[in-house]
């Protein structure tokens, strides 16, 4: 057997390019479908886990998937907002916590998420540096956002202008970074969190400006000379105010966390009527539907991979067969030198076994790290996907 | 469901925790309520430094962070904590003790005034010193008790609430008796803050603004003279003893100052309930000097 291995290795060394190509082909045909499935499974787990960790979402009646993606992944797919008053109504019911979320604004292309500090308790977000936001004008960054922007507590970040031609609309606001969260492998990692009041100021609903001066004893109602602040400082924070009843101010969605199963059932019943402009959805159900669709697509991909794999295996078998036929003269020489037919078969068998083994080892070196890193890869894919 | 339970457990720490519940209350009356209701199961702190009116307190970041970290934050509401409108507070751990009292709140249309070198301001909006109507104070205590019961299910909050509400009912009965004894006599008040007391116990009030540390201005004295002429009032409620010049001016007009504190931020270690009882005793004594 040692002799057969020696001869097989010698042959492979002599035909190293052809042998390496075969090993690579075998490794890829094994690693690609397995690796894809590993990452896909991890992504499905990540989607399902975040959805399962969110009991209910309240939003304007419409697409449940859009509402779920906005509430869980901070997409700006929700076009019709709910109000802070809708969240207050949930609180006042005594049946659940209600955590408002406002999405749609960005800062250097990362989502600016308006919410309450209850969100951090709810998601178990731990501050790794600095502190949670304490007042309007402050932001806390997800770990990924801080790394991408290269920001730390004490730095500033300016929100992106939305529409240069909307004179009454959102002006960029300079945010002070109060803290950075530890990574949790979800969409929270790439978000810029601010207070709801801060996001309303970004939206132009609230603002701060110089004290209105009176001229000849009469108030100046509107003057172009009044300076509007685009950063909130200790000196001007008291000038910031909202121009609307807070209960009427917009939120994209409200995370609803019932105190118990009975409270959840009562709340769901309250939003069942079709003429209610709001609906209360179970994100796990919505994501389950999405995963079922992904699962069906995955099955098609599996079939494609299976067909391509079978074709590749056939091609490899053909290549080995042709290579063996090309070595007919070499085999004949061995036979004439006195080698037994079994010895010749062993030599060819050893060569095939070595190629398959090396292919398997190479596949394992791809798949094992991929499996180890799959939660992080899935988190990145899931967080960035929408 | 496990996650739901975990979430609620995180939001509302239980008595099973070794450490007492950290409670932050926005004035000393509410702090007293919270401490009496929770007993040893909570450590209650009032974050406003001595000598500062909690209604005008402007917390620094460190103070905000301390409040945010509390297991329960007790607010008066009704616009009392102006700072709360620009601060991020966890609603799941915050109790607004006047929530649901909209019908009972008094809406003001006050006039602008200033205190010494302080900024000119007015008290437009909602009158916030709700607890001087002791029946509303009892409801505030009930709101705190409900929050503490969720946070400290093993603490004897219900029994403590009954005892506290008995004390408040005694104050309410005494105040009603005082109101009846005053027979519609007007009380002068040195600044806003007594609206609920006056309304609850049928006592007409007339505000004549003075400063706690400055001598009276001619305009203030003129306003005092006008008020005395209109109402024949002879008593004036003060949160603390008036400055000497003001006391002299009051005495010259036959006005007796009565120390009637809101007890929102008394010196450390003061007996808040005792101060509220002392208010009524002082007013009773002023009504009947003999």
**Interface predicted TM-score (ipTM):** 0.79
- Mapping DSSP to helix (H, G, I), strand (E, B) and coil, where does residue A10 land? helix
Residue of higher predicted confidence among A209 and B235: B235
Option in A121, A131, A257 nearest B4 (CB):
A257
What per-residue confidence (pLDDT) applies to B212?
A: 84
What per-residue confidence (pLDDT) applies to B69?
A: 93
Option in A122, A135, A257 nearest B88 (CB):
A135
Average pLDDT over residues B178-191: 93
Average pLDDT over residues A182-211: 86
Residue of higher predicted confidence among B3 and A363: A363
B144 and B174 housed in the same domain? no
Residue A342 has pLDDT above 60, yes or no: yes
Q: How confident is the model at residue A213 (pLDDT cuts 50, 70, 90)?
A: low
What per-residue confidence (pLDDT) applies to B113?
A: 55
**pLDDT tens figures, B241-251:** 999 999 999 99
Residue B100 has pLDDT above 60, yes or no: yes
- Mapping DSSP to helix (H, G, I), strand (E, B) and coil, where does residue A281 land? strand
* Mean per-residue pLDDT of chain B: 88
Beta strands in chain B (DSSP E): 21-25, 42-45, 72-75, 94-96, 107-108, 125-126, 187-189, 205-207, 235-238, 256-259
Average pLDDT over residues A90-115: 94
The residue of chain A with its CA nearest to that of B65 is: A134
The answer to the question of residue B6 being in a domain is no
- Mapping DSSP to helix (H, G, I), strand (E, B) and coil, where does residue B252 land? helix
Is A134's CB within 8 Å of B87's CB? Answer: yes
- Mapping DSSP to helix (H, G, I), strand (E, B) and coil, where does residue A214 land? strand
Cβ atoms of A248 and A82 closer than 8 Å? no
Q: Among residues B136, B156, B176, which one ends one of the domains? A: B156
Cβ atoms of A55 and A263 closer than 8 Å? no
The answer to the question of residue B184 being in a domain is yes
The DSSP letter of residue A234 is: T
Residue A187 has pLDDT above 50, yes or no: yes
B136 and B224 housed in the same domain? no
Cβ atoms of A375 and A185 closer than 8 Å? yes
Residue A119 forms contact with B (CB below 8 Å): no
Average pLDDT over residues A172-194: 93
B116 and B64 housed in the same domain? yes
Q: What do you get for the CA distance between the two ends of chain A, in Å?
A: 57
Is B86's CB within 8 Å of A197's CB? Answer: yes
B136 and B38 housed in the same domain? yes
Average pLDDT over residues A197-223: 68
B134 and B206 housed in the same domain? no
B149 and B32 housed in the same domain? yes
**pLDDT tens figures, A360-385:** 999 999 999 988 888 778 767 766 65
Q: How confident is the model at residue A151 (pLDDT cuts 50, 70, 90)?
A: very high
B272 and B146 housed in the same domain? no
Option in B3, B64, B92 nearest A134 (CB):
B64
Cβ atoms of A66 and A290 closer than 8 Å? no
B150 and B171 housed in the same domain? no
Question: What gap in Å lies between CA A35 and CA A374, rounded to an integer?
Answer: 9
Is B10's CB within 8 Å of A55's CB? Answer: no
Collect all residues of chain A within an 8 Å Cβ-Cβ radius of residue B4: 55, 257-258, 260
Is A133's CB within 8 Å of B88's CB? Answer: yes
Collect all residues of chain A within an 8 Å Cβ-Cβ radius of residue B92: 97, 118, 121
CATH number at residue B66: 3.40.50.1980
The answer to the question of residue B98 being in a domain is yes
B113 and B174 housed in the same domain? no
What per-residue confidence (pLDDT) applies to A328?
A: 83
Collect all residues of chain B within an 8 Å Cβ-Cβ radius of residue A258: 4
Percent composition of chain A: helix, strand, coil (DSSP 3-state, to 5): 55, 20, 30
**pLDDT tens figures, B111-153:** 555 555 555 555 568 999 999 999 999 999 999 999 999 999 9
B83 and B201 housed in the same domain? no
Q: How confident is the model at residue A209 (pLDDT cuts 50, 70, 90)?
A: low
**pLDDT tens figures, A349-362:** 888 899 889 999 99
Residue of higher predicted confidence among A237 and A259: A259
Question: Max alpha carbon distance in chain A (Å)?
Answer: 122
Residue A231 Rama label (left phi>0; alpha psi -120 to 50; beta): beta
Option in A53, A133, A136 nearest B3 (CB):
A53
B98 and B77 housed in the same domain? yes
B245 and B207 housed in the same domain? yes
Q: Among residues B156, B177, B196, which one ends one of the domains? A: B156
The torsion angle over the Cα atoms of residues A48, A52, A57 and A60, rounded to 10 degrees, is 20
What per-residue confidence (pLDDT) applies to A386?
A: 46
Lowest mean pLDDT among A71-80, A166-175, B138-147, B267-276: A166-175
Supply angle C-alpha A145, A150, A152, rounded to 5.
Answer: 85
* Mean per-residue pLDDT of chain A: 86
Q: How confident is the model at residue A164 (pLDDT cuts 50, 70, 90)?
A: low
What per-residue confidence (pLDDT) applies to B20?
A: 95
What per-residue confidence (pLDDT) applies to B109?
A: 73
The answer to the question of residue B80 being in a domain is yes
The residue of chain A with its CA nearest to that of B84 is: A135
Q: Among residues B132, B156, B180, which one ends one of the domains? A: B156
What DSSP string runs through A189-213?
A: GG-EEEEHHHHHHHTTSEE-BPPPP
Domain boundaries, chain A: 2-47+291-384, 98-257
Q: Determine the structural domain holding residue B185 and report its residue range.
A: 166-287
Collect all residues of chain B within an 8 Å Cβ-Cβ radius of residue A122: 7, 10-11
Number of domains in chain B: 2
> CB burial class (10 A; 0-12, 13-18, 19+) of residue A366?
middle
Is B11's CB within 8 Å of A131's CB? Answer: no
Q: How confident is the model at residue B10 (pLDDT cuts 50, 70, 90)?
A: very low
- Mapping DSSP to helix (H, G, I), strand (E, B) and coil, where does residue A299 land? helix
- Mapping DSSP to helix (H, G, I), strand (E, B) and coil, where does residue B39 land? helix
Residue B216 has pLDDT above 80, yes or no: yes
């Amino acid at each position: 057997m040692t002799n057969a291995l020696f001869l097989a290795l010698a042959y492979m060394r002599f035909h190293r390019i052809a042998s390496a190509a075969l090993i690579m082909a075998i490794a890829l045909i094994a690693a690609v479908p397995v690796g894809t499935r590993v990452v896909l499974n991890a992504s499905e787990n990540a989607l399902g886990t975040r959805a399962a960790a969110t009991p209910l979402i309240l939003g304007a009646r419409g697409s449940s998937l859009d509402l779920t993606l906005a509430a869980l992944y901070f997409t700006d797919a929700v076009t019709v907002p709910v109000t802070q008053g809708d969240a207050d109504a949930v609180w006042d019911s005594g049946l659940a916590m209600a955590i408002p979320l406002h999405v749609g604004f960005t800062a250097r292309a990362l989502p600016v998420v308006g919410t309450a500090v209850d969100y951090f308790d709810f998601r178990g977000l731990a501050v790794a540096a600095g502190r949670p936001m304490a007042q309007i004008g402050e932001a806390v960054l997800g770990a990924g956002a801080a790394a991408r922007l290269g920001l730390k507590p004490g730095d500033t970040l300016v929100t992106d202008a939305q529409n240069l031609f909307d004179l009454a609309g959102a002006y960029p606001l300079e945010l002070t970074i109060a803290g950075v969260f530890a990574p949790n492998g979800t969409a929270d990692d790439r978000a810029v969190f601010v207070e709801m009041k801060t996001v309303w100021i970004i939206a132009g609903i609230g603002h701060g400006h110089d004290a209105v001066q009176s001229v000849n004893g009469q108030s100046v109602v509107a003057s172009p000379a009044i300076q509007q602040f685009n950063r909130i400082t200790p000196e001007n924070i008291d000038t910031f105010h909202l121009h609307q009843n807070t209960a009427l101010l917009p939120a994209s969605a409200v995370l609803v966390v019932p105190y118990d199963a009975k409270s959840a059932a009562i709340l769901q019943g309250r939003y069942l009527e079709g003429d209610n402009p709001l609906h209360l959805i179970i994100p796990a159900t919505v994501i389950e539907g999405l995963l079922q669709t992904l699962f069906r697509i995955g099955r098609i991909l599996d079939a494609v991979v299976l067909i391509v794999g079978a074709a590749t295996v056939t091609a490899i078998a053909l290549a080995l067969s042709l290579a063996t036929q090309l070595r007919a003269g070499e085999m004949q020489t061995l036979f004439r030198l006195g080698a037994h037919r079994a010895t010749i078969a062993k030599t060819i068998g050893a060569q095939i076994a070595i190629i398959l083994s090396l292919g398997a080892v190479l596949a394992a070196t791809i798949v094992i790290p991929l499996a180890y890193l799959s939660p992080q890869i899935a988190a990145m894919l899931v967080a960035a996907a929408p | 469901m496990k996650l739901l339970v975990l979430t609620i457990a995180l939001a509302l720490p239980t008595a099973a925790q070794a450490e007492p519940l950290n409670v932050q209350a926005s004035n000393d009356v509410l702090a007293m309520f919270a401490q009496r209701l929770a007993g040893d199961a909570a450590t209650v702190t009032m974050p406003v430094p001595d000598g500062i009116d909690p209604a005008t307190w402007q917390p620094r970041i460190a103070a905000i962070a301390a409040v945010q970290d509390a297991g329960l934050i007790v607010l008066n509401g009704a616009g009392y904590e102006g700072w709360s409108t620009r601060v991020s507070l966890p609603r799941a751990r915050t109790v607004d003790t006047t929530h649901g009292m909209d019908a009972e709140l008094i809406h003001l249309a006050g006039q602008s005034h200033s205190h010494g070198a302080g900024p000119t301001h007015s008290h437009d909006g909602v009158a916030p010193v709700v607890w001087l109507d002791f029946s509303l104070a009892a409801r505030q205590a009930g709101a705190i008790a409900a929050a503490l019961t969720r946070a400290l299910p093993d603490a004897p909050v219900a029994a403590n609430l009954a005892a506290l509400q008995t004390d408040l009912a005694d104050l309410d009965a005494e105040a009603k008796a005082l109101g009846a004894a005053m027979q519609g006599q007007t009380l002068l008040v040195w600044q806003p803050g007594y609206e609920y007391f006056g309304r609850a116990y049928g006592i007409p009030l007339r505000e004549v603004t003075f400063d706690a540390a400055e001598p009276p201005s001619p305009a203030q004295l003129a306003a005092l003279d006008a008020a005395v002429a209109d109402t024949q009032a002879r008593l004036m409620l003060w949160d603390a003893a008036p400055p000497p010049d003001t006391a002299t001016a009051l005495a010259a007009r036959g006005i007796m100052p009565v120390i009637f504190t809101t007890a929102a931020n008394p010196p450390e270690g003061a007996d808040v309930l005792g101060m509220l009882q002392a208010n009524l005793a002082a007013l009773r004594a002023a009504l009947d000097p003999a």
